[in-house]
Chains A and B, each alone.
Chain A
Amino acid sequence: NAGVMQNPRHLVRRRGQEARLRCSPMKGHSHVYWYRQLPEEGLKFMVYLQKENIIDESGMPKERFSAEFPKEGPSILRIQQVVRGDSAAYFCASSPSRQGVETQYFGPGTRLLVL
């Protein structure tokens, strides 16, 4: 049973470009969460999705950031017009049911560097 998959593992973008980060949850998991981590800091919640629904996006910036989890395929975190401050590690986690009830399992992360 494969764990949470994320790709790419590393992504380099120039300011103003778009970044698309992909996450495939563990088999049987229908709940996906995205977190952001700056160096030497803890993870900060961004968004919580179920298939085709955004449940909680309270941690996601209102502009330039969007997330989706379509019926088929991976969850996508999209950052438009990236700025240097977007450089961070972005982690995806999945669980079989809603947050607070089941443990979340994390992927290896995507490290975004904005030049």
Chain B
Amino acid sequence: GESVGLHLPTLSVQEGDNSIINCAYSNSASDYFIWYKQESGKGPQFIIDIRSNMDKRQGQRVTVLLNKTVKHLSLQIAATQPGDSAVYFCAENYSGNTPLVFGKGTRLSVIA
């Protein structure tokens, strides 16, 4: 289930189940969105991106959905594995040369 800890919200899932991580972005003008995975002690690792002219994009075991009406982004991970345990960040950007803005992050914990 999903719970809010002291700092980062945490999502716990059983190995093999699907995971859905949600993100509400702030700028309605944002037109480029990225999901990053950050393992403990490491830098963010690119997972998948999507531009605002799309509402869905699929990668290997991952799918990103974009709902511009409610400014919502989600990352779906199929058949979650222990190696997927990490903190996941969404980031948004407006192609008018502005910095990436990161969301607060969600910690995914995979139960073997």
Contact = CB atoms under 8 A, between A and B. Distances in A.
A92 to B, nearest CB: 8
Contacts of A39: 7
Nearest to B104: A42
Interface residues of B, number: 27
Nearest to B94: A100
A50 to B, nearest CB: 12
A45 B7 CA distance: 20
A33 B105 contact: no
Nearest to A39: B7
A44 B95 contact: no
A91 interface: yes
Interface string B63-104: 000000000000000000000000001000111111111111
Contacts of B8: 40
A83 B103 CA distance: 26
A104 B100 contact: yes
A103 interface: yes
Contacts of A105: 46
A56 B99 contact: yes
Interface of B: 6-8, 31-32, 34, 36, 42-46, 49, 89, 93-105
30 contacts: A6-B43, A33-B99, A33-B100, A40-B6, A40-B105, A42-B102, A43-B44, A43-B89, A45-B100, A45-B101, A56-B99, A99-B93, A99-B100, A100-B31, A100-B32, A100-B93, A100-B96, A100-B97, A103-B34, A104-B34, A104-B100, A105-B46, A106-B43, A106-B44, A106-B45, A107-B43, A108-B42, A108-B43, A109-B42, A109-B43
